[in-house]
Chains A and B, each alone.
Chain A
Amino acid sequence: MSQISYGSINDHVVKSMEPPGRSWMVSMVLILGALSMGIFAWTYQIRHGLEWSGINHPIAWGVYITNFVFWIGIGHAGTLISAILYLVRAPFRNSIYRASEAMTVFAVMTAGLFPIIHLGRAWLAYWMVPYPNQRELWVNFKSPLIWDVFAISTYMSVSIAFFILGLIPDLAAVRDESKGLKRFLYSIPSLGFRGTNHQWLHYMRGYLLFAAIATPLVFSVHSIVSWDFAMSSIPGWHSTIFAPYFVAGAIFSGCAMVLTIMIPLRRAFPGFADIIKIKDLEGMAKMIIFTSLIVTYAYAVEFFIAYYSGAKFERALFWFRPFGEMKPFFWLMVFCNCIVPVALWWKKIRTSIPALFIISILVNVGMWLERFNIVASSLAHDYVPFTWANYQFEWAEIWITIGSFGWFFMWFFIFVKVMPSIAVAELKEKMIPPVRKKR
């Protein structure tokens, strides 16, 4: 392992931003292929209607709302890492926070598409915004769906602002390392930053405030998303544990996605192995163990309350989930979210890169299934037996889901080539500074 110095961090980051190689190009072609299919499927659905998704009566919320909750959850880990771990000064945060913040922004951008896709008539999405029309008809503020509009748009604005703010000193560093047109292009977003004491003073104070403000936002956004369900009186949804359960699940899936992204990034740019250490990835693995335990506990509590409360409809639903038509989704979810992370208790597995990568993907699959179980199985088995139904996946929603991954990874791949994917200034801040008198 080479010695890391202030200068070598700049070199590694600048090297990662060199023109893309063949593997990047091939990956991008696959990503754009997936995105194109997603766009085609959505266009087809707009033309022919929502019958091309599996949404039916009574399962009016299906794969799109599942995807919405899934992507919002993914977005949470970025803010957790950039804000909460910043406030508690977690040492494993510095090397991975920039990429996770980018992940947050792109995940929220992806999540924001799904309520619009789910609407069917996407061009009427602006009806959700409280604006004065000629009839002075305002939105219903008592609906948690409106709270969600406020929560998601605030979260997206704050995430983007936080991401851009963190980038300014690093873009300035890239500007100083560049020449010609590249230098000119990077000088625009770096806003004349030169690392003076006035700039660092107000910048660091503002950044700390951002972190302090973003921390409660992490909890509020997913709590509000959970209230989309919990405020209704449907069995399986009307639950007081939903807010903390959703927040823990979001952090769980987000941490897994960080590993899914950081491990290939570390491999793609050889210099990054010196910066993103195994210890940092192990820190994320420990977060996964912790949040997996919370999620497992929440699953168990849901079943216990349904059994011990004696509420007939709750009992029926919680019998339906593991033993009804949707049981494969339930058991696969339990396997991925409760059993697979147990392997991370062993240090050997926690420090093995291939094992971490496989586990992170399985956790993501499990968390998607968790959202699908919550959304679809509760609606499939509510109060009235003659409306009970099953969910049939349709090709349009499958391709739109795959396309959403294409959309997300397209932004991420562009990001790693045009912006510093490692936080240069913060890594330097955490290093022992160059001093003449050795301590």
Chain B
Amino acid sequence: MKKKYSGVWATFEFLDDTCGAIKELKKAGINKITTHAPCARHEIMHALGNPQSRVPFATLAGAFIGFGLAVLIIVKMSLDWILPVSEKPIVSVPIMGPIAFELSVLISIFFTIGAMIIFIVKDTRKQPLPKSDEYKQYNRFLRDRFGVVVTCKTDDLPRIEAIMKDYQAEEIYLEN
């Protein structure tokens, strides 16, 4: 059986109203908040308590793996097929520089993309979103409207609706 969703979502015309509503919701002990914005706004992140992304760890891991892979490739291939070039050693350290750098960059980029996708999906699953057609078809979040979505119990709906109204939400939808 499909899990039933219960929560409130509201749209805002102004950024300061949106941030005010988020801060008030947090003060009221509500932490399952998802916001929508037409662009990245640091004001919203501040209101949400400055959450941190874990993507850089994946980038760093990718860089190390790329570097190691480059060294491995060069050493293995140089020893496999001996190609003497002037007086240079068969396994030459300086030549590892450009290739190790390029592979570190390449693999770290792949890891960054992978981490972004994984973390976005994971965080979105933690806080389910409304399932109604109104929400799914609302198409102004990437145009000129801000949105606040709160997942809560049915009993909390009126309290959250009141907070949204206080901050002059344009439209408020209750879902249960």
Q: Is the interface of A mostly helix, strand, loop or mixed?
A: helix
A15 to B72, CA, bound (A): 51
Given A140-B85, A142-B88; A203-B98 close (CB under 8 Å): no
Whether B98 contacts A425 by the Cβ 8 Å rule is: no
Interface string of A357-377 (1 = CB under 8 A from B): 000000000000000000000
Provide the residues of chain B in CB contact with A426, threshold 8 Å.
Answer: 39
Whether B109 contacts A220 by the Cβ 8 Å rule is: no
A88 to B168, CA, bound (A): 37
Whether A147 contacts B105 by the Cβ 8 Å rule is: no
Complex interface: stretch among A4-12, A234-242, A273-281, A391-399: A4-12
A429 to B14, CA, bound (A): 14
Asked if A18 is at the interface of the complex by the 8 Å CB criterion, the answer is no
Q: For A427, give the chain B residue with the smallest CB separation.
A: B39
Whether A158 contacts B39 by the Cβ 8 Å rule is: no
Asked if B156 is at the interface of the complex by the 8 Å CB criterion, the answer is no
| Shortest Cβ distance from residue A110 to the other chain B in the assembled complex, whole angstroms | 20
A436 to B106, CA, bound (A): 45
Whether B139 contacts A210 by the Cβ 8 Å rule is: no
Whether B124 contacts A437 by the Cβ 8 Å rule is: no
Given A141-B78, A198-B120; A10-B113 close (CB under 8 Å): no
The A-contacting residues of B in range 1-60, CB under 8 angstroms, are 13-17, 33-41, 43-45, 48, 51, 53, 55-56, 59
Whether A10 contacts B143 by the Cβ 8 Å rule is: yes
Whether A224 contacts B36 by the Cβ 8 Å rule is: no
Whether A195 contacts B38 by the Cβ 8 Å rule is: yes
Q: For B119, give the chain A residue with the smallest CB separation.
A: A202
The B-contacting residues of A in range 67-119, CB under 8 angstroms, are none
A6 to B139, CA, bound (A): 14
A177 to B143, CA, bound (A): 8
Asked if A172 is at the interface of the complex by the 8 Å CB criterion, the answer is yes
Asked if A341 is at the interface of the complex by the 8 Å CB criterion, the answer is no
Whether A220 contacts B102 by the Cβ 8 Å rule is: yes
User: Shortest 5 CB-CB distances between A and B: which pairs?
Assistant: A205-B53, A176-B139, A138-B77, A198-B123, A428-B39
Pick 30 A–B contacts, CB within 8 A, sort by A: A6-B144, A10-B143, A150-B102, A169-B39, A173-B142, A173-B143, A177-B143, A194-B36, A195-B141, A196-B36, A197-B33, A197-B37, A197-B44, A198-B120, A198-B124, A199-B124, A204-B53, A205-B53, A206-B113, A209-B108, A209-B112, A210-B109, A213-B105, A220-B98, A220-B102, A428-B38, A433-B43, A434-B13, A434-B14, A436-B168
